[in-house]
């Protein structure tokens, strides 16, 4: 019997931001493609009070259609009231208030079997309210910052603990994150199922490094000399991602080592200023948002992938880099040790320029073959991800 899932996710692709939460979309699309679960997605859009909605990025968000049906899954985009910087503790309530009437209409048309939340906060407490309103079981997944950021805020932590108590399933993207959740008292020991991310192996696979670099010649912002060695950092340009540490590490590395930053964000101006002040602006390449077609080329062209994040659950960028043959240099955060389980996969490095430079030097002195690096990502796939998720959700739905 086919089950029906109502999935609530505040991160999900939409016309003005097609890369936003792409990994969530891929997970849900692959689950639906199996045939045993029919999936409907609700992606709540937070908007400030009306006078501010026509300003900046909120204007494009306000224009997102209420319903998208042209893709693999139906995706609803109800609006909820958001007060930037102030309404964090109230967002679960605002999301549930916006979603529940829609969820009731959809449930009355064709009943759902399970509600899920794709992030623990604010999605989790909101999904709990929606599921309780529909009389359904629910599941919540933790991904990293939802725990590490909001878990330090008492009001949010109390809501997460409350939502977890009645959840039919609680998932985490890594064993390390599950341990953090247990330490915060969100879920008692043994109450979390680790559910690893997936990977599109048809898209992310090693391309010989020299060939990849030749095919990257049209990528704006990246000009490499034949003898240059390339470190790539993939992630939003935010202080917590640590790109400033990677830039500072360049100052103690040979001049033929270049750093390419793939991503956008509010820290870009500060990072450009930092590179200029250190006299290495010509070695730091700002690539902006790199599309999903070009990203495997960039990662295959890289000698190493450096991401000195302050916190992560288990980053998709880690797995994608490995699959393209780029060994990782990452700190001991989240599921890093679960990913770096063999020497070819890369090195753990403390969040300091000196440690990052030392790890880069070590890897470049004896670079592992791309095929050996890629083998470290072999166990991650979207098919395996969906099969595990289907089994978890089947047990959750059957237990109501």
Q: What is the pLDDT of residues 233-282, one digit of tens each?
A: 999 999 999 999 999 999 999 999 999 999 999 999 999 999 999 999 99
DSSP assignment string, 259-270? EEEEB--TTHHH
364, burial (CB in 10 Å: exposed 0-12, middle 13-18, buried 19+): middle
Model pLDDT for residues 74-88, shown as the tens digit of each residue:
999 999 998 887 788
The mean per-residue pLDDT over the stretch 206-213 comes to 94
Intra-chain end-to-end CA distance of the chain, in Å: 16
Q: How far apart are CA 244 and CA 267, in angstroms?
A: 9
Q: Under DSSP, is residue 229 helix (H, G, I), strand (E, B) or coil?
A: strand
pLDDT of residue 400: 54
What is the pLDDT confidence band of residue 54, given thresholds at 50, 70 and 90? low
Q: What is the mean pLDDT of the chain?
A: 93
Higher pLDDT, 374 or 52: 374
CA 336 → CA 9, 134, 294, 347, 375, distances in Å? 25, 38, 25, 10, 16
Percent of the chain with pLDDT over 70: 99
202, burial (CB in 10 Å: exposed 0-12, middle 13-18, buried 19+): exposed
pLDDT of residue 86: 79
Model pLDDT for residues 116-146, shown as the tens digit of each residue:
999 999 999 999 999 999 999 999 999 988 9
The mean per-residue pLDDT over the stretch 318-332 comes to 97
Q: How far apart are CA 167 and CA 396, in angstroms?
A: 9
Specify the range with the lowest mean pLDDT, choosing from 46-60, 110-124, 140-154, 308-322. Answer: 46-60
199 touches 320 (CB < 8 A): yes
79 touches 106 (CB < 8 A): no
The mean per-residue pLDDT over the stretch 10-39 comes to 92
pLDDT of residue 317: 94
**What structural domains and CATH numbers belong to the chain?**
3-198+381-398 (3.40.50.2000), 209-375 (3.40.50.2000)
CA 260 → CA 7, 358, 364, distances in Å? 35, 18, 16
What is the pLDDT confidence band of residue 1, given thresholds at 50, 70 and 90? confident
Model pLDDT for residues 331-370, shown as the tens digit of each residue:
999 899 999 999 999 999 999 999 999 999 999 999 999 9
Residue 308 reports pLDDT greater than 60: yes
Residue 204 reports pLDDT greater than 70: yes
pLDDT of residue 151: 92
pLDDT of residue 108: 97
Q: What is the largest CA-CA distance in the chain?
A: 65
8 touches 115 (CB < 8 A): yes
The mean per-residue pLDDT over the stretch 310-324 comes to 94
What pTM did the predictor assign? 0.88
pLDDT of residue 6: 98
Q: Bridge-partner residues for 14, per DSSP?
A: 17
């Amino acid at each position: 019997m086919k089950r029906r899932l109502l999935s609530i996710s505040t991160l999900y692709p939409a016309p003005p931001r097609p890369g936003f939460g792409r990994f969530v979309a891929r997970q849900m699309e692959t689950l639906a493609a199996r045939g045993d679960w029919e999936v409907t997605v609700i992606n709540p859009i937070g908007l400030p009070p009306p006078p501010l909605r026509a300003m900046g990025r909120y204007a494009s968000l306000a224009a997102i259609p209420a319903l998208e049906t042209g893709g693999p899954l139906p995706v609803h985009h109800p609006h909820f009231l958001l007060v930037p910087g102030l309404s964090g503790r109230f967002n679960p309530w605002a999301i549930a208030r916006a979603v529940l009437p829609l969820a009731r209409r959809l449930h009355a048309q064709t009943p759902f079997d399970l509600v899920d939340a794709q992030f623990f906060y604010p999605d989790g407490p909101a999904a709990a309210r929606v599921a309780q309103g529909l009389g359904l079981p629910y599941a919540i997944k933790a991904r990293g910052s939802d725990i590490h950021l909001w878990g330090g805020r008492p009001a949010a932590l109390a809501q997460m603990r409350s939502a977890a108590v009645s959840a039919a399933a609680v998932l985490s993207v890594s064993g390390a994150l599950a341990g953090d959740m247990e330490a915060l008292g969100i879920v008692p020991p043994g109450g979390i199922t680790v559910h690893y991310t997936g990977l599109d192996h048809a898209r992310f696979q090693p391309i010989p490094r020299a060939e990849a670099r030749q095919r990257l010649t049209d990528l704006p912002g990246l000009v490499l000399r034949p003898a240059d060695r390339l470190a790539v950092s993939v992630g939003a340009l935010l202080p917590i991602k640590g790109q400033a540490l990677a830039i500072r590490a360049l100052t103690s590395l040979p001049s033929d080592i270049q750093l390419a930053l793939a991503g956008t964000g509010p820290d870009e101006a500060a990072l450009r200023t930092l590179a200029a002040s250190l006299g290495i602006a010509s070695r730091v390449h700002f690539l902006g948002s790199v599309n999903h077609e070009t990203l495997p080329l960039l990662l295959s062209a890289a000698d190493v992938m450096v991401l000195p994040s302050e916190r992560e659950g288990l980053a998709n960028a880690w797995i994608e880099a490995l699959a393209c043959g780029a060994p990782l240099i990452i700190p001991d955060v989240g599921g890093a040790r679960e990913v770096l389980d063999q020497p070819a996969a890369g090195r753990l490095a403390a969040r300091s320029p000196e440690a990052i430079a030392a790890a880069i030097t070590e890897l470049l002195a004896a670079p592992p073959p791309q095929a050996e690096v890629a083998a470290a990502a072999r166990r991650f796939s979207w098919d395996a991800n969906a099969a595990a998720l289907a089994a978890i959700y089947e047990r959750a739905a059957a237990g109501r």
